[in-house]
A = this chain, B = another copy of it.
Amino acid sequence: MMSDWNGKLDLAALVQSRLPGHSLPQPFYVDSSVVELDLDRIFKRQWVFVGHSCQIKQPGDFFTVAIGKDPLILIRGDDGEIRALHNVCRHRGTLIRREGCGAAGRLVCPYHQWTYERDGKLASCRGMHDGINRDALGLLPSHVEDLEGMLFVCLADRPPDFSAAREAMAPMLKPQRMREAKVAKIVDYDVAANWKLVWENNRECYHCDVNHPQYIKANFDHFNSDDTRPEVKQRIETAAARHELQCAKNGLEITHKETGMATFPDPDHGCWYAANRTTLAEGYVSETMDGRQVAPLMGDYTEADVGTLRCRTMPNMWNHSSCDHAVSTRLLPAGPNRTQVRVMWLVHPDAEEGRDYELEKLMPFWQLTSEQDWELCEFSQAGISSGAYRPGPYSTHKEYNVDAFVRWYLEALTQ
């Protein structure tokens, strides 16, 4: 046993015990000390997606988020810059803003009214004695990066490099113009599964055929190298040709036009980010139930038929963007068998609900796909908790990305 009832963990032995090409040993999914390590070594060290800059367009607009036990305020300053401040008063540690979002003139602690500027500087602490070093008592900041409207926070003192991710993804993301978008809807889920199971689910479409009837109509990634018949190949080529025509008009390029998923992550090259543009099935110009456009074109698009833009970053985000809307998914671990998941739908900034789009048409595709997946993840967690769980083999045809995720994870954990 790698983890006894005393909670003592021999991490090196546990990592060593993983069979190549197989799912992880049980403690990774059920042991509370592992989730502590996941938080300390991954979520506190890496770039964590927290939300969209378009949620906070005006100076003083803020939203809150907690990474593990660390509550943060993402707030736009008077200079227009977005900052990630720890939501913790420097006086006696009180949580400053409890709401999920809002607008703040200054940040005022409800307890004794210590007052902070929107950039975190301590503006006043009425009632304190002389000799207090106010300069040292601003709200503690975190690192934050705004990647074309996607906000990433790093809690580490020295964050890992972000520039390579920016360089690779910004040109892909730019035409979607999420920075100027409007949030149409946010749905929060409390999923009874380890965050790694949510990723493992996301990293293969082996489960799609039976579980995601709406998804497989729109996409090609459930076809894999082992089951691609000539007629499927023909369908993809036709679809890709159609998209490429439109994409060219928009100055875009289809970068993934094969069956199966694009490879991601890539632990062998330290690659925790990826973006690509993918062909949709015939008759689909958007990831919607019937494939039709359901909202005004976003960003730089002049035609609907541009495939989908997909991006994902370890350890906690993926996004699928169609011509008319973008959907981001954010994972935050909340225990060995709990993950808080937020799904966000973005549309054109001027689109008005009722007039330009309806939620009943905008949401079902990804709401269904998400909820179908959460249920599968919960089934997995329930079975893996058994004493009879044995790590099983990943399909080399269909689960290569699950294996890549597991290898990325083990490397990140032991770095």
Contact = CB atoms under 8 A, between A and B. Distances in A.
Interface string A300-314: 000000000000000
Contact of A140 (B137, B382, B388): B388
A98 to B, nearest CB: 7
Contacts of A200: 92
A71 B382 contact: yes
Per assembly, the copies of the chain total 3
Given A129-B226, A395-B127, A397-B127, A110 B376 contact: yes
Interface of A is mostly: loop
Contacts of A396: 129
Interface residues of A, number: 65
A302 to B, nearest CB: 40
Contacts of A210: 110, 113
A32 to B, nearest CB: 8
Interface stretch (A1-9, A169-177, A283-291): A1-9
A5 B23 contact: no
A162 interface: no
Contacts of A189: none
A200 to B, nearest CB: 7
- Max chain B C-beta neighbours (<10 A), residue from A36, A110, A209, A227: A110
A227 to B, nearest CB: 7
A383 B93 CA distance: 5
B389 A93 contact: yes
B395 A110 contact: no
A249 interface: no
Contacts of A383: 71, 87-89, 93-96
A355 B74 CA distance: 56
B376 A111 contact: yes
Interface in A370-391: 376, 379-380, 382-391
A132 B386 CA distance: 23
28 contacts: A5-B7, A5-B32, A5-B36, A6-B8, A23-B92, A23-B93, A44-B387, A69-B385, A70-B386, A70-B387, A71-B383, A87-B383, A90-B390, A91-B392, A93-B384, A93-B389, A93-B390, A94-B379, A95-B383, A98-B379, A111-B207, A111-B211, A111-B379, A111-B380, A127-B224, A127-B398, A128-B397, A129-B396
**In the A-B complex, the 5 residue pairs with the closest CB atoms:** A86-B388, A95-B383, A93-B384, A95-B382, A88-B383
Interface of A: 5-8, 23, 32-33, 36, 44, 68-71, 86-96, 98, 110-113, 127-129, 132, 137, 140, 155, 200, 206-207, 209-211, 224, 226-227, 376, 379-380, 382-398
